[in-house]
Amino acid sequence: MKKTTQLKNLICGRELEFLMEAHSGLSARIVEEAGFPGIWGSGLSISAAMGVRDNNEASWTQVLETVEFMADCTTIPILLDGDTGYGNFNNMRRLVRKLCQRGVAGVCIEDKVFPKTNSFLRGEQQPLADIDEFSGKIKAGLDSRIDDDFCIVARIEAFIAGWGLKEALKRADAYHRAGATALLIHSKRNRPDEIFAFMKEWGDRCPVIIVPTKYYSTPTEEFRRHGIAAVIWANHLLRSAVKAMQETAAEIFEQQSLIDIEDKVVPVKEIFRLQNDEELAEAEGRYLASKRELAAIILAAGRGKELGDLTLDRPKAMLQVNGTPIIKQTLDQLHARSIKDVTVVRGYKKETLAPLGCSFVDNDRYDETGELYSLYLARAQLEGPAVICYGDIVFRSYILDELIGHPGDIVVVVDSHIGERRADYVGDFVRCSEKNRKSYDQGRVRLRAIELAEKGSFDEALDGEWIGLLKTTEAGSSALLEAMEELAQRPNFKKMKLAELLDQVLAGGGVVDVVYIDGHWMDVDNYEDFARSQGF
């Protein structure tokens, strides 16, 4: 159904309908996704988004360009707040033709003098248009329509200007006779008395639209009872966005960091989704040479015996940290970065991982094999670029972003903050080409060696701990597979750790790059780790 027909049916139907304000293509798409049948292209919101006043300071062509973007990315109709029509009858004729050409379904014009002033500012001082002149503007718009279903709504400002009910009815009658699709009766009082008085006198002669910005506490059922055709929620997306932006800006300014803000805002992936990036990706698949997508392998076969009773009925990867299983947190972070091809290597109590909805590779010899053997079982999934991750670590989301964004073929994440490790801590400690200078211009850091430190011994020359998270390109995956096949010939292969695979790459002259972090992660190996993780 044409958008113009959708809007006409919406306004002229027998049920109360609702239009939500939007001021950009992005906000328009949000309105449609929320389920609204129509969009109000708010003059206040569009001008505010441009940083100018709602006094026709934005030109009509600038407004036209904005609503064209809104129309292009939505399938529901837009009723534009066209102020006074941006001039006389001739401006109105051109406006209507251009709106029809750009896919806008209707325009609402108000009977004030150009340039207009927002209805909630100095209302009594705002002169109203001559009735005959405004009626002529309505007729000119109707005669200029390319589509006969294009709607022209006449907005009556008599109550705003303090002229009372008699004048409002007089104007309503004139605009109705001029052919307006519907009337919009406006009031700035915090009670709907003026609106309901108008409805009582006007009856059911043509559809009436309202904007209850000031009398918002009125029950919606009262609007139905008084025969209102449609309600416009006129500026609430803009106002909610302003509040969120002010709070975010203030927090970032105060902290001079994004660490604590990132999890409070939508991921960039959500912006890409609203921009319909998926359609572009599909088009690229049709028109561009294909390239491999990033995949992921999560190693989650072990039980975690040191966790005792906590893992009697589940592997440690399924332990909940702050109410969510560890492995689910990792999956969510991968999915948020469009990594959909995820393979989980499972073993102990493997049936408990089934609800995750991933691809699985089973290591039924989990109790007698190491991490490298689990990866070896999943080597078919290591044919292209991939993220490889332990199943028992939790980490801040920015770490994955920095890892994926690094240009190296094999890249590992190293935590340089190792000075406070407890005496019995055992980890994959590393030596690098240089220490973490915690500087933006750190430059490329290379892994030199990776080793399992003895309990209670810390060498000051150690540069950090590998956290069990790495990324490979297609070339990097090939290098890992080659090194893995070489290690598979050794008698102790099934007991090997993943760190030994990295050592093999280095021994063969390969390059492993390092992404340094300073905390912001932890692994869960025992009761103490599990207790600390709940505050992560």
Q: Are 513 and 444 in contact (CB under 8 A)?
A: yes
Contact predicate 411/513, CB 8 Å: yes
Distance CA 446, CA 515 (A): 9
Q: Which residues are catalytic?
A: 54
168's CB contacts (< 8 A; 6+ apart) are 156, 158, 159, 185, 194, 198
Q: What is the distance, to the nearest Å, from the Cα of residue 80 to the centroid of all Cα atoms in its chain?
A: 26
**CB neighbour class for 147 (10 Å; exposed up to 12, middle 13-18, buried from 19):** middle
Beta strand extents in 357-424 (DSSP E only)? 359-362, 386-390, 393-395, 410-415
121-128, long-range: CB < 8 A, 24+ apart: 123/157, 123/160, 123/161, 123/162, 123/188, 124/161, 124/162, 126/157, 126/160, 126/161, 127/161, 128/157, 128/158, 128/161, 128/163, 128/171
- Pairwise CA distance, residues 412 & 406, whole Å: 10
The count of other CB atoms within 10 Å of the CB of residue 279 is 9
One-letter amino acid identity for 228?
I
3-state secondary structure of 111: coil
- Using the structure block, give the residue that is written with the tokens 């837009």: 78
Angstrom distances, CA of residue 522 to CA of 12, 259, 530: 60, 16, 10
Contact 465, 434 (CB under 8 A): no
DSSP assigned state of 128:
B
Bridge partner residues of 56 (DSSP): none
SS3 238: helix
Q: Nearest to residue 100, comparing CAs of 145, 133, 52?
A: 145
For residue 27, what are its two tokens? 């906000």
Provide the 10 A C-beta neighbour count for residue 130: 11
Based on its alpha-carbon atoms, the radius of gyration of the chain, rounded to whole angstroms, reads 32
303 with 366: CB under 8 angstroms? yes
The SS3 assignment for 464 reads strand
Q: Which amino acid is at 119?
A: S
